[in-house]
Amino acid sequence: MLPHNPNTDTQFDEASLRTICLAGGCFWGTEAYMARIPGVARTSCGYANGQTVNPTYKEVCTGETGHAEAIMLHYDPGKIALDRLLTAFFETIDPTTLNRQGPDVGTQYRTGIHCTETQDTAAVASFVEERQAGYDEPIVTEVLPLESFYPAEEYHQRYLEKNPGGYCHVDLGKLSN
């Protein structure tokens, strides 16, 4: 059994969990928001789909590594469907803005849904295609297989829990459990 999500009273069976990687701009807010969703077992901040191995935050901030700030999210599909997770994720981003979310600008702040399981790629692409009807501008959120994910430094993990007054472009009040 995995430790439970700190915002729920649920224990999770590791064998039943699925994984997806979400890049939503600054990872602090994305992690804090998504971790509050019932059915999410755990989240961690990190760097996805870049060209270097095990980059540091300082390296990613140069924009030269190709990584996106992202979260690895483990969820129980028996408690929450993938499309509900994606709906919640879309509530936190502007999917039509390239390389920027809130005041954060740079390729590391691009939005993306990086699939860890092949069968999820088609479902995610279909979800994004359906959502396009609600936007005047094209959705630029990447839908790609997850090629690499490196955990961010410890001080980034659960940052907003450790620093409740910390910066966040995500409205954490939108989600009520």
26 is catalytic: yes
Beta bridge partners, 76, equal none
pTM of the predicted structure, to 2 decimals: 0.92
- Answer yes or no: is pLDDT of 116 > 60: yes
Mean local confidence (pLDDT), 120-134: 96
- What's the confidence (pLDDT) of residue 107? 97
- What's the confidence (pLDDT) of residue 168? 83
pLDDT tier at 172, thresholds 50, 70, 90: confident
Mean local confidence (pLDDT), 9-24: 90
- What's the confidence (pLDDT) of residue 2? 37
- What's the confidence (pLDDT) of residue 33? 96
Condensed to tens digits (0 to 9), the pLDDT of residues 40-67 reads: 999 999 999 999 999 999 999 999 999 9
Mean pLDDT of the chain: 92
Name the catalytic one among 21, 26, 45, 115. 26
